[in-house]
Amino acid sequence: MRNLIRLLTLAALATFCALPSFAQEAAAPAAAAAANPCEEAARGEMYTRYYELKGKKDAKGQPDAAAQKEAYGIGQEYLTKYASCNDTYSKAVQKFVTQYGEAVRKVGNVAELNDALYKNKDYAKAFQVAQPMIAADPENLSLLIQLGYAGYNAQSLNPPVTTFSPTALGYAKRAIEMLEAGKTPSEWVLFKSKDEALAYLNFAVGEYMIKSDPAGAIPFYLKSFALESPVKTTAPAYARLAAAYQVGQYDPLQKEFTAKYGGKPETDESKFALNNLNQVMDRVIDAYARAVNLAGNDPKVAADKKVWLETLTGFYKFRNNDSTTGLDAFIASATSKPLPAPFTPQPYVPSAAPAPSTGGTASDSGETNGAGNGNGAMTAPAATAPAPAQSTTAAKPKTVTKKP
């Protein structure tokens, strides 16, 4: 009701001072009133009643909601009964009735959207209700933020619902652009601050993209971790980053490397290609180490932690002469280090000197070698983790339903 009063204030102010003397002007002789309904005393009385109710204030000096609702009803009746009276009084009533009706519909849509998003988790209904709202107000940042994240919530259902992900992706990207440009929503409905909203929205964009464009999802995951929010300390979120690196960069490079150089003697070109592969591998290792570190003893992610640790161990051993020496220390210190910057594989240029090996970037043990397996034949570890599935354990903000 508070929002309705706020929305109606403009309508009240726009017409409050309009034509207060209608009743006196309408007090024409009875014979003339009978001949012209627009001049009958009843019309003046109806207008006066409408006008008094419309301008009534409550104890706080705000437009009285109950009185305005009654004025709206009288105004509708007035416009129907005196439809032929197209004068300044009727136009003033029409303006109020139109503004009030639009405000009521807007508040009703917001209430319906809140119920669909947060009470019933009916995302089909939510996006249906939101479509005309966005069309009418495409720069409604609060609405863009909520819908931009709603697609991720739908993906997190069991079973996942991805129907709305493409639409939500567009909303999320637009909301990110507006927030980064310095704009703020009229009210924070789902998140508490700009940084929190940007963190969750960037993570959601990564989730929307990870299957269709996993390499493209990586920068969005990294942005989400760079901001202060619960996402930054959520174990499954880093496992998603590791999966994006694996599927988006490591798998294609590993397949290409095996096809070109597998089982063959080292060359400058193959060492350059292996260096690219190792740099991506180091990022996979780093992300899984953070996931394992942050998982701790949380029973909710115990099963996932076991998979992350197995995958991490396989990559770590490959980078460290089939040894796990230093792995525990590496995991323990993982979150104290800056996240590695995103990596763009570079093409080999024959005239250029081979790129230096990434050496010990995978661990602090100092046992990492450049070729990965310590012999002359070129090999690369096959990917051991499955294609990323939708996580249902990533951090989510507490949903808040704003009642109209």
- Does 45 score more than 90 pLDDT? no
Is 383 found in the same domain as 257? yes
Q: Rounded to whole angstroms, how far apart are CA atoms 191 and 194?
A: 8
Query: What tens digit of pLDDT does each residue of 284-298 get?
Result: 999 999 999 999 999
Residue type, 235: A
Is 313 found in the same domain as 260? yes
Is 95 found in the same domain as 73? yes
Is 225 found in the same domain as 275? no
Which carries the bigger pLDDT value, residue 6 or residue 175? 175
Is 149 found in the same domain as 181? yes
pLDDT band of 341, cuts 50, 70, 90: very high
pLDDT band of 276, cuts 50, 70, 90: very high
- Does 219 score more than 50 pLDDT? yes
Distance of CA 276 to the CA centre of its chain: 33
Q: Rounded to whole angstroms, how far apart are CA atoms 160 and 152?
A: 9
Print the domain residue range for 187: 121-233
In a domain, residue 116? The reply is: no
In a domain, residue 114? The reply is: no
- Does 253 score more than 80 pLDDT? yes
Q: Rounded to whole angstroms, how far apart are CA atoms 106 and 100?
A: 10
Whole-number pLDDT of residue 5: 47
Residue linked to tokens 């090996």: 357
In a domain, residue 320? The reply is: yes
Is 11 found in the same domain as 76? yes
Closest C-alpha to 393, from 146, 158, 42: 158
Is 80 found in the same domain as 55? yes
Is 334 found in the same domain as 250? yes
Q: Domain end: 175, 198, 233, which one? A: 233
State mean pLDDT over 79-91.
86
**Length reported for the chain:** 404
In a domain, residue 396? The reply is: no
Tell me the pLDDT of the chain averaged across its residues: 80
Angle at the Cα of 128 (from 118 to 211), degrees rounded to 5? Answer: 80
Which carries the bigger pLDDT value, residue 62 or residue 141? 141
Cβ within 8 Å of residue 294, ≥6 positions away: 233, 234, 235, 238, 335
Whole-number pLDDT of residue 108: 53
In a domain, residue 328? The reply is: yes
Per the structure, how many domains does the chain have?
3
Query: What tens digit of pLDDT does each residue of 155-197 get?
Result: 999 999 999 999 999 999 999 999 999 999 988 888 999 999 9
Is 299 found in the same domain as 366? yes
